[in-house]
Amino acid sequence: MANQRSLFAIDLDYEELKVFYTGSKNRVQVTAHDGRSINLPWAMLQPYLTTSGIKGRFLIRYTQEGKLLRLDKLD
């Protein structure tokens, strides 16, 4: 069975991300370009955090069962 992949864009400023540091949230909900709703663990996006937040287009790869394999920033 082939792995799945989806593209999505995200634009969250640093203030919007504070909820993840307070512990009140640990998952991020995004909508892929194909309309799918994707629920990501905050830890997958955390490496892309800058002083201005998280912005850019990403490619996520996952199994057919929905297990997250990899997240790559495209720009």
The structure's pTM equals: 0.86
Each residue's pLDDT, cut to its tens digit, for the chain (75 residues) gives: 578 999 999 999 988 888 887 878 899 999 999 999 999 999 999 999 999 999 999 999 999 888 889 999 998
Beta bridge partners of 13: 53
Q: Cα(11)–Cα(39) distance, rounded to whole angstroms?
A: 16
Q: Write down the pLDDT at residue 66.
A: 84
Catalogue all structural domains in the chain, each as residue range(s) with its CATH number: 4-73 (2.40.50)
pLDDT of residue 1: 59
